Amino acid sequence: MTVIISPRDWMVIKLGGSLLDLPDVHDRLDRVIKQEKINAPLIVVGGGGLVDEIRRLDEIHDWPESLSHELALRAMSVTAHLFADSDSRFQLVHSIATANRSLGRRRYPVLDCSGAKWLSTLPCSWDITSDSIAAYVTRKIAASRLLLMKSTELMNGSVSLIQAASCGLVDPFFPAIASELPRIDWCNLRRDSPHSIQWK
């Protein structure tokens, strides 16, 4: 069964790669989705330690930016596979069409960004991480919201996008792309009772 979702009903959820070491990460995400009545989530999983290792090796070997960028996307593909394939409530998808079908099967879609041609318009730079990629996906599908799930608190809701980037809460490119989004929420998924707050 395919469920046709209106763009305004989608919420892109960026799941930080650092959260993958939580033994109950699937349960935590599921609880937030249900308690906040998110009917059409599209999950983008960060690369976590895999991308960190690629970055470390790049500092040694000084690879071309295009190669580093491609390897980072492939690492995100690996973490997306690991996350989606290790719990039956989630399903790996490669497009909005397959995400619709996933929801029709009552499974949460997890987007594999590797090989997505529409991501080719993003610059190849370490200034761009899964934060900006999730923001770009949000803009591309005209979703109503982006929810950033992190391992830390936001500090306070009044912090600007630029301030958040300068202190490492989001990547340096994020303010340029996220400023166009209708709404951005934040959630520290490591909290005892995680919930989202509206940021922008």
Report pLDDT digits (tens) over 130-164. 999 999 999 999 999 999 999 999 977 689 999 99
Question: Residue 49: pLDDT above 80?
Answer: yes
pLDDT of 1 over the 60 cut = no
Burial readout 95-128 (b: 16 or more C-beta within 10 A, e: otherwise): ebeebbbbbeeebbbbbbbbebeebeeeebebeb
Q: Which two tokens stand for residue 76?
A: 């995100």
In the chain, domain spans: 7-198
Beta strands in 79-171 (DSSP E): 90-93, 108-111, 145-150
pLDDT grade, residue 3 (50/70/90)? Answer: low
pTM: 0.94
**Rounded Cα–Cα distance for residues 38 and 60 (Å):** 43
First and final CA of the chain: distance in angstroms?
35
Instruction: Domain 7-198: give its CATH architecture.
Output: 3-Layer(aba) Sandwich (3.40)
